[in-house]
Structure 1
Amino acid sequence: MPNDFNQQIIDEFRANRGRVGGYFEGARLLLLTTTGARTGAPHTTPVGYLPDGGDRVLVIASAAGSARHPDWFHNLVAHPQVTVESGVFTYEARAVVLTGEERDRLFARAVEADPGWAAYQEKTDRIIPVVALHSVARGGPGNINATSFGEAIKVVHDAFRRELSLIRSELATGTATLGAQLRVNCLTFCQGLHNHHTGEDTVLFPLITERHPGSTPALTRLREEHERIAVLVEELRETLTSTTDPTAVRAEVERLTTELEAHLTYEEEELIPLFDAAS
């Protein structure tokens, strides 16, 4: 039977490219589509996730501490190939149920970031599963949820803005020491930003130069800004590995935020009109 509450979240998530209000406002949320273990039919469920760096994210089959695993968990055990919607990208992934020390370590990391996971575990006798969703390489990051190149730029930029806002909020409300999951969140963001700028420098900007020679001064400035941002990212990485003091990390995040926001705004002002005019 369809879950009306879930469907409302799914509709809002897709309409707002990953942003939802109410109880889940400000949460890291994705849409997970699994194949029914018994029916073979697709089922889409909104689930919270944890960044884990590299090509995977983590989801936890808590079912709010109920006695039974959620249906989506049974589905992915039977059919590990799943579809993930991040709000920006839609991509295929392979689900792996973690076990032993790895499961325990990552669940502890989740609890450190949000004690609610521990409360769910206390409510049930079952061991709450932790599942890694590994993106399946298809020659790119996945299908972007945009209808034009100009819109795609804005969608990706807004995703970086949102993630950076979440990290800043976590730093502001965290404990006296820097938690392991918060470190991972920051490092995952840094890697994603590096990958994005590398793709622009090596693929997107040469294409724009060929089609719009007059854009060269703007692209030169954007490349220079990429270099400055890369320095700030590296300084944030070094701080994350050398201290547990969130105040020091917060200062580096604020420096990066200021530089990055100015960069993203300038890029949108310069590039989106070019793509809009071409379309």
Structure 2
Amino acid sequence: MDDLRTGLGRRQLRDDTLAAHCLAFCDALTTHHEGEDDGMFAQLLRERPDLADTVTKLEQDHGLIASILTQVRQLADRALEARGPDLETIGRELDGLAAIMESHFRYEERSIGEALDAEGDDTEWADTVLRFGEQVRPGL
């Protein structure tokens, strides 16, 4: 995202390049959050129901981030349709997204990390939640 914001600020990216980067970034972040919401968080709550408030907060953040990503996608789509992006508007959206993501990731690392670290050396639950040791098959 930093590369996108820097290129946008310096007007170094062509509209189609900017749009392609924005759309790829939006898709990757959306996929990541959907994976957490539907997979990792669900399993984490089965193993650690005491983290329900933390997971709820993180899922709310995901909703806010998804809303901003929708705005960025719409602006990027306009660039691809040759109507030209409003660079100032895209920049504000990316700045807001960066601030929320920074806060979100810090909270996620701190709250879940502290809870997991408190478990001591017993990592059996982490292996279940994070699926360590599972054979990952290509294409999955």
Q: Which residue in 2 is equivalent to 1:247?
A: 88
Q: Which residue in 2 is equivalent to 1:173?
A: 10
Q: Which residue in 2 is equivalent to 1:268?
A: 109
5+ residue gaps, structure 1, are 1-163
Q: Which residue in 1 is equivalent to 2:30?
A: 194
Question: C-alpha offsets along residues 100-152 of structure 1, whole Å, 9 cap, x if unaligned?
Answer: xxxxxxxxxxxxxxxxxxxxxxxxxxxxxxxxxxxxxxxxxxxxxxxxxxxxx
CA RMSD of aligned residues (A): 1.7
5+ residue gaps, structure 2, are 79-83, 124-140
Deviation at 1:263, TM superposition (A): 0.9
Aligned-partner Cα distance in 2 for 1:233–1:212:
30
Contact 1:178/1:246, CA 8 A, preserved across alignment: no
1:205 maps to 2:34 = no
- Percent of paired sites with the same residue: 26
Look up the equivalent residue of 2:4 and give its one-letter code. I
Q: TM-score, normalised by structure 1?
A: 0.39
Deviation at 1:178, TM superposition (A): 4.8
Aligned-partner Cα distance in 2 for 1:225–1:181:
28
Write 1 or 2 for the structure with the bigger share of helix.
2
Aligned-partner Cα distance in 2 for 1:275–1:179:
44
Write 1 or 2 for the structure with the bigger share of strand.
1
Q: Which residue in 1 is equivalent to 2:73?
A: 237
Pairs aligned (count): 115
Structure having greater relative contact order (Cα 8 Å, sep ≥ 6): 2
Contact 1:218/1:270, CA 8 A, preserved across alignment: yes
Q: Which has the larger radius of gyration?
A: 1
Q: Which residue in 1 is equivalent to 2:133?
A: none
Aligned-partner Cα distance in 1 for 2:73–2:19:
9
